Amino acid sequence: MPSTLTIATDGGVARVTLNRPDVRNAFNETLIAELTAWAARVRQAEPIRAAVLAGAGRAFCAGADLTWMSRMVGYSMEENLEDARAAARLFQILNALPVPLIGRVQGAALGGGAGLAAVCDIVVAADDAVFGFTEAKLGILPSMIAPFVIAKIGQSAARDLFLTASRFPAARAREIGLVHYVVPAADLDATIERLLAEVLTSAPGAVSAAKALIPAVAGRAPEDVFDLTTATIARHRTSREGQDGMRAFLEKRKAPWVP
């Protein structure tokens, strides 16, 4: 069976493209399994410093594949639970990647496709892209992606968009924090290259630790994370990377990780 992904790695950057353009890169069991397997390799210390997640053709990801959905209709509760757990694990492992994940969104990002945007650290969208948590239109709901979406857009926006299941433009996605940059489609790649250049001049260990720090302190009182935050900065100041970076700054030279 042909792969549902194309993966190219160069200069420390993995470019992962959903490769089902004939169905607008919709999810099925194979895509979920292959994307999970790639993310697991990164978690197991594959030597990359950033990743870009994109969709081939006219759409980023239009949600669930119709053929996959037709099989779900006949699933038992146990089969549905197994299927849902596989998809939920995908979003969990992407959300926790130890490197920055940049989403490149054009066309439609619907249902699970909008969920993919939610687990990306930085999202660049074409100004004509369309988003939507459209599950309720089908009698279901965005349950598996809800923890990641609500962490990004908050409860107020989720109440509106989950309950109406309406589609919304990239400008609204930026307003609610699902998207960070909205640019003409012709500028998507240049914008992503600029962001990658910034990431690659930052220390990889510090970037990874900063990504992990965000959910660890989010929503908690400063006094509750006092020991965590102080120990974290002390550990990184005394690390090889921290020492190299601070010395490079003081001596006005490039740090070892800068291309």
Question: Which residues are catalytic, by number?
Answer: 135
Question: How many residues are listed for the chain in this entry?
Answer: 259
Find all residues with CB under 8 Å of 192, minimum gap 6, and list them: 52, 102, 104, 124
Give the SS3 label for residue 124: strand
| CA 30 – CA 46 distance, rounded (Å) | 22
Q: Which long-range contacts (CB under 8 A, 24 or more apart) does 118-121 make?
A: 118/145, 118/148, 118/149, 118/151, 118/152, 118/153, 118/178, 119/91, 119/94, 119/95, 119/148, 120/53, 120/94, 121/211
